[in-house]
């Protein structure tokens, strides 16, 4: 008989803030808030000391400063966080041959059939937590359950330094005890819609038909919720999905009124995007832009053509057309973004006319420039237009 499946979901507690406290002993026991730079930044992580002041992630930095004026505000240091993340992931790999990294601070471990090696479920979870703490100085919260969906919810059930085990026989009671907001995949809007239909908790939802949920939320979300409240894995985390899109966006310190400046910024974005295109060796036939106006209204435009994007100039031309189409003259712009969708791996099929038209050559030149930049560090190889842009986008000129 094959052993029953069980999974760990492991979540690093207040990860960025914890790394800062680890690296700077003087920050320990104090409210540490890692946030975006500039006055329009938001909190990305804060220590539990800061949470006591009501600070939480995604909160505008200005608000956090009001709530916690003596907080230690730090910019994020991603390379360092990735380093620590790697250490933790290496420990995961000692416990399971099937580790699914979900982001920099969380992963699923398929622990099925590992009792002989690590002992019963609870023992192995405690062992893992202890090893992570002694090996990296970081604390984690672990959720254990028969499927990934429940394990994911369980890891958030008791934080920090938590361990929540949901046995098969307790799944129903566990799911029904959950506040709606703790159900992964149910956000504010969905909650409001459910509540206005009289469905205010998971237990009530578990007692209505799938069709009712579908009529309220649509086909896919209705089906998802019907499964979710029963603890049936909706399959969100079944496999590592292939990358489908890449994008870059920028929120400005001050809203921008000048179309030429927007075009220059779009040029920068298209440069960064094409670097990533080369780095990840992908291309796409669909490009898109995103504009967020001063009133937070957000619009987007996309265009698909037969030929995949070839080089940065090609990309910029396509993006520029979209910007011209979508831009509303006179409206202040707070964010501009650009992306590639439906990306495909590898170089696009070699067509004869590519060579003849010089398209292929252009791309090769750019790839060489990209490799040089990578070696020498960015900003070394800079196009004339970018030099202008940097002058233009200097703060306070807007």
Partner DNA sequence: TCTGGGGTCCTAGGACCC
Q: Answer yes or no: are the C-beta atoms of 149 and 237 closer than 8 Å.
A: yes
Percent helix / strand / coil, the chain, rounded to 5: 45, 20, 35
CA separation for the pair 379, 386 (Å, rounded): 9
- Minimum CB separation of residue 123 from DNA in Å reads 27
Binding-site member from 23, 161, 219, 353 for DNA (CB under 7 A): 219
225 contacts DNA (rule: CB under 7 A): no
CA separation for the pair 271, 306 (Å, rounded): 22
251 contacts DNA (rule: CB under 7 A): yes
Burial class of residue 362 in the structure, from the number of CB atoms within 10 Å of its CB (0-12 exposed, 13-18 middle, 19+ buried): middle
Binding-site member from 117, 173, 220, 391 for DNA (CB under 7 A): 220
Q: Answer yes or no: are the C-beta atoms of 348 and 308 closer than 8 Å.
A: yes
Closer CB to DNA, 184 or 398, in the complex: 184
191 contacts DNA (rule: CB under 7 A): yes
- Minimum CB separation of residue 109 from DNA in Å reads 16
Pick from 88, 35, 85, 90: which is nearest to 63 by CA? Answer: 35
284 contacts DNA (rule: CB under 7 A): no
Burial class of residue 122 in the structure, from the number of CB atoms within 10 Å of its CB (0-12 exposed, 13-18 middle, 19+ buried): exposed
**Which residue matches tokens 């090996």?**
135
41 contacts DNA (rule: CB under 7 A): yes
89 contacts DNA (rule: CB under 7 A): no
Segment contacting DNA by CB under 7 A, of 23-31, 107-115, 129-137, 302-310: 302-310
Pick from 155, 161, 229: which is nearest to 199 by CA? Answer: 229
Q: Answer yes or no: are the C-beta atoms of 350 and 283 closer than 8 Å.
A: no
x/- site string to DNA, residues 97 to 116, per CB under 7 A? Answer: -----xxxxx----------
Show the DSSP H helices in 179-328 as ranges.
188-196, 202-205, 210-217, 219-228, 259-279, 312-326
- Minimum CB separation of residue 286 from DNA in Å reads 5
Residues 171-190 that bind DNA (CB under 7 A): 183-190
Q: How far is CA 23 from CA 19, 46, 139, in A?
A: 6, 15, 14
Binding-site member from 100, 114, 164, 248 for DNA (CB under 7 A): 248
Binding-site member from 286, 373, 382, 386 for DNA (CB under 7 A): 286
x/- site string to DNA, residues 17 to 36, per CB under 7 A? Answer: -------------------x
247 contacts DNA (rule: CB under 7 A): yes
373 contacts DNA (rule: CB under 7 A): no
Instruction: Say how many residues touch DNA, by CB under 7 A.
Output: 58
Q: Answer yes or no: are the C-beta atoms of 293 and 333 closer than 8 Å.
A: yes
CA separation for the pair 347, 350 (Å, rounded): 8
Binding-site member from 53, 56, 60, 386 for DNA (CB under 7 A): 60
Q: Answer yes or no: are the C-beta atoms of 259 and 329 closer than 8 Å.
A: yes
Segment contacting DNA by CB under 7 A, of 77-85, 130-138, 283-291, 364-372: 283-291
Segment contacting DNA by CB under 7 A, of 117-125, 142-150, 247-255, 379-387: 247-255
CA separation for the pair 372, 135 (Å, rounded): 38
Binding-site member from 52, 94, 127, 244 for DNA (CB under 7 A): 244
Cis geometry, peptide bond prior to residue 160 (ω within 30 degrees of 0): yes
201 contacts DNA (rule: CB under 7 A): no
393 contacts DNA (rule: CB under 7 A): no
300 contacts DNA (rule: CB under 7 A): yes
Q: Which of 20, 26, 83, 106 is catalytic?
A: 106
Residues 310-329 that bind DNA (CB under 7 A): none
Binding-site member from 56, 63, 159, 359 for DNA (CB under 7 A): 63
Q: How far apart are the first and last CA of the chain?
A: 69
Whether 106 is a known active-site residue: answer: yes
Closer CB to DNA, 124 or 150, in the complex: 150
Q: Report phi then psi at 392, rounded to 5.
A: -65, -40
Give the CA radius of gyration of the chain.
24
**Structural tokens at position 344:** 């495909």
State the catalytic residues.
106
**Residue ranges in contact with DNA by CB under 7 A:** 36, 39-42, 44, 57-58, 60, 62-63, 66, 102-106, 152, 183-191, 218-221, 241, 243-251, 276, 285-286, 288, 295-296, 298-304, 334-335, 337, 339
């Amino acid at each position: 008989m094959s052993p029953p499946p069980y999974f760990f979901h492991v979540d690093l507690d207040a990860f960025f803030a914890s790394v800062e406290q680890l690296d700077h002993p003087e920050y320990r026991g104090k409210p540490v808030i890692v946030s975006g730079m500039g006055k329009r930044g938001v909190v990305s992580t804060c220590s539990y000391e800061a949470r006591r002041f009501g600070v939480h992630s995604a909160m505008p930095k200005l608000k956090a400063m009001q709530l916690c004026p003596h907080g230690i505000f730090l910019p994020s240091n991603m390379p360092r966080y990735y380093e620590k993340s790697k250490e933790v992931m290496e420990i995961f790999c000692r416990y399971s041959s099937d580790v699914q990294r979900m982001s920099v601070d969380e992963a699923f471990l398929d622990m099925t059939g590992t009792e002989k090696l690590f002992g019963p479920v609870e023992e192995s979870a405690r062992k893992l937590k202890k090893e992570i703490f002694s090996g990296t100085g970081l604390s984690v919260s672990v959720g254990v359950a028969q499927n990934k969906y429940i394990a994911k919810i369980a890891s958030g059930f008791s934080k920090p330094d938590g361990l929540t085990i949901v046995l098969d026989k307790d799944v129903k009671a566990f799911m029904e005890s959950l506040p709606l907001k703790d159900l992964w995949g149910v956000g504010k809007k969905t909650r409001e819609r459910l509540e206005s239909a009289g469905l205010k908790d998971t237990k009530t939802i578990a007692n209505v038909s799938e069709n009712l949920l579908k009529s309220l939320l649509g086909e896919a979300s209705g089906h998802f919720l019907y499964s979710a409240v029963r603890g049936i894995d909706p399959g969100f985390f079944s496999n590592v999905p292939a990358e489908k899109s890449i994008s870059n966006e920028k929120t400005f310190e001050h809203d921008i009124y000048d179309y030429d400046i927007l075009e220059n910024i779009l040029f920068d974005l298209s440069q960064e995007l094409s670097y990533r295109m080369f780095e990840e060796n992908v291309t796409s036939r669909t490009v898109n832009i995103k504009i967020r106006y001063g009133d937070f209204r957000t619009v987007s435009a996309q265009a698909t053509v037969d030929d995949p994007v070839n080089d940065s100039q090609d990309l910029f031309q396509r993006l520029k057309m979209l910007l011209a189409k979508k831009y509303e003259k006179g409206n202040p712009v707070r964010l501009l973004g650009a992306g590639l969708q439906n990306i495909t791996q590898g170089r696009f099929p070699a067509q004869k006319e590519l060579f003849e038209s010089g398209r292929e050559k252009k791309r090769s030149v750019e790839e060489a420039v990209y490799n040089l930049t990578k070696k020498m560090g960015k900003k070394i190889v800079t196009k004339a237009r970018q030099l202008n842009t940097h002058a233009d986008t200097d703060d306070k000129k807007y």
